[in-house]
Amino acid sequence: MGATAVIGAQWGDEGKGKVIDLLAEQADYVVRFSGGNNAGHTVINHLGEFRLHLVPAGIFNAQTTCVIGNGVAIDPDVLIGELDQLDAAGIDTSRLLISDRAHIVFPYHRLLDNLEEARLDAQAIGTTRRGIGPAFTDKTARRGLRMGDLLDPDSLRGKLAGAMEYTNLVLQGVYNHQPLSTDDVYEQCRRWAERLSGLICQTELLINRALQERREVLLEGAQGTLLDLDFGTYPYVTSSHPGASSAYQGAGIGPIRIDRIVGVFKVYCTRVGGGSFPTELHDANGEHIREVAHEYGVTTGRPRRIGWFDAPMARLSNLVNGYTSVILTRLDVLDQLESIKICTGYRLGTQTLEFPPSSAADLAQCIPIYEELPGWREPTSDFRHVQDLPANARAYIARLEELIQAQVSMLSIGPRRDENIIVRPAL
Ligand code: GDP
Ligand code: IMO
Ligand code: MG
């Protein structure tokens, strides 16, 4: 059997952590393949409530090996903090492995992220300020350091000196900031190596062997497709590729080793940070959803912006990822609404659009075309079979399925691992 990729289908925070924790019950491997600790994945299960930023959400299953793949940018301080927290909660973290090719997020990346957001001021991207953009910039500019570099202290010093020579030129020349000491950062690297060396290896070899042995491999996405560098709402995007193409690239497997590409959608939309959001709500419905669903960022605590389900964005998401099935989350959040809107297309001047335009200026001019469906006004969290759901809830789900043009494999009706309705196998 091939791998299953779980992809954020909107602007992130769709409930990937919950879904991975559940699916990991059947998985031998869970591999995080992209992003960094800009991600915040919530897991609520019999062991407690957890917010993960780097450790894969499969860590709660005793038989699952967890891998932070080559496509992830790792802030070792954050990773060590997360491991300490999990250890303190009695979770066995000895099954975690780290790709030697994964790039390192240094404190100077965090500093650069903060300085650049401050410089942009009103034009800021609204990043998580975790240094992820600058770390991926260094990766593509071929001056990044990788986790494997921590294993060789002698060559590490030279590589770090080279990277920091450039960084200090930028800090002083662009931001008028004092230069940083390479020695201090080198000492920090030595501490990271002491703690993490034993976990760093060529993880692509293990993952491919596992697939050959027909083991169950889950590929855990971070962020969402609408934050993708190419297909997201550029420039208000993250600096990596959250979609299916990263699932094989960021784990080091061939594309045809992936059998299932599962898109995770909320039944409405949220986004954190700047950028166009055509269906954004500035009314009592938006406030209601934010408070009922506690829509505040896991990583930064910022209130999430709320909007109706956006079919043009969902069509694009399916187009570029090719979902074999989709999971809809947070259905219960809409339980009390009298009526619910769905954006089925955009009006741009005299044109009607089925897909979002690529230009941010055009997107900002798009006016959503809505249809309105009646709400069901009944709690749904206790249902476990589709046929038991209120008819209006079933009609809403059927309409989303039609608009996304993919079959729903599962509905999530609460934050806990066991609050789900299995609709059909995730093909
Ligand atoms: P991720 O980044 O995709 O893993 O999602 P986050 O953890 O950032 O945000 C999802 C939030 O929704 C978390 O607080 C989850 O506990 C919660 N959640 C997930 N699924 C459901 C659901 O079906 N219903 C409700 N009410 N909450 C959910
Ligand atoms: P998970 O995995 C929601 C957003 C930021 C900002 C933009 C760029 O929890 O779904 P960055 O720090 O990446 O340079 O910020 O991307 N962003 C996320 N939004 N969920 C995430 O991850 C996100 N990761 C980044 O808010 O708009
Ligand atoms: Mg999140």
Q: What is the pLDDT of residues 78-91, one digit of tens each?
A: 999 999 999 999 99
pLDDT value of residue 307: 98
pLDDT of residue 300: 87
Residue 299's pLDDT is: 84
- Give the pLDDT of residue 425: 82
pTM above 0.85, yes or no: yes
Token pair of 113 as six digits: 């992220």
Q: From the CA of 20, which ligand is nearest?
A: 1
pLDDT, residue 241, reads: 98
Asked if residue 189 lies in contact with residue 147, where contact means CB atoms within 8 angstroms, the answer is: no
Q: Is the shortest distance between the CB of 18 and ligand 1 below 6 Å? A: yes
Q: Is the CB of 333 under 6 A from ligand 1?
A: yes
Q: Are strands 305-307 and 269-271 parallel, antiparallel or unpaired?
A: antiparallel
- pLDDT under 50: residue ranges of the chain: none
Q: What is the pLDDT of residue 383?
A: 97
Distance 132 CA to ligand 2 centre (A): 10
pLDDT for position 60 = 98
Closest CA to 407 of 317, 321, 325, 328: 325
Q: Which atom of ligand 1 is nearest to the CA of 414?
A: 24
Task: Please report the pLDDT score of residue 24 as a whole number.
Answer: 96
Predicted local distance difference test score (pLDDT) of residue 225: 98
Residue 37 confidence (pLDDT)? 98
C-alpha of residue 43 to centroid of ligand 1, in Å:
8
- Separation between Cα atoms, residue 11 and residue 13, nearest integer Å: 7
Q: How many Cβ atoms are within 10 Å of 347's Cβ, its own excluded? A: 13
What's residue 161's pLDDT?
Answer: 97
* Proximal ligand: closest to the CA of 277: 2
Give the burial class of 43: count Cβ atoms within 10 A of its Cβ; 0-12 exposed, 13-18 middle, 19 or more buried.
Answer: buried
Report CA torsion sign: 44, 49, 54, 56. negative
**Ligand 3 center to residue 12 CA distance, Å?**
6
Q: Contact 143/162 with Cβ under 8 angstroms?
A: yes
pLDDT tens string 359-371: 999 999 999 999 9
Q: Give the closest residue (by CA) to ligand 1 atom 10.
A: 15
For ligand 2, atom 6, the nearest C-alpha belongs to 127
Protein residue closest via CA to atom 11 of ligand 1: 15
Q: What is the chain's mean pLDDT, rounded?
A: 97
Whether 224 lines ligand 1, by a CB cut-off of 6 Å, is no
pLDDT at 374: 98
pLDDT at 204: 98
Any ligand 1 atom below 6 A from CB of 41: yes
Ligand nearest 57 Cα, by number?
1
Q: Can you give the pLDDT at residue 183?
A: 96
Strands 200-201 and 65-68: unpaired
Atom of ligand 1 nearest to the CA of 18: 19
* Identity at 196, one-letter amino acid code: L
User: What's the confidence (pLDDT) of residue 406?
Assistant: 97
Which among 356, 417, 421 has a CA at the least distance from the CA of 387? Answer: 421
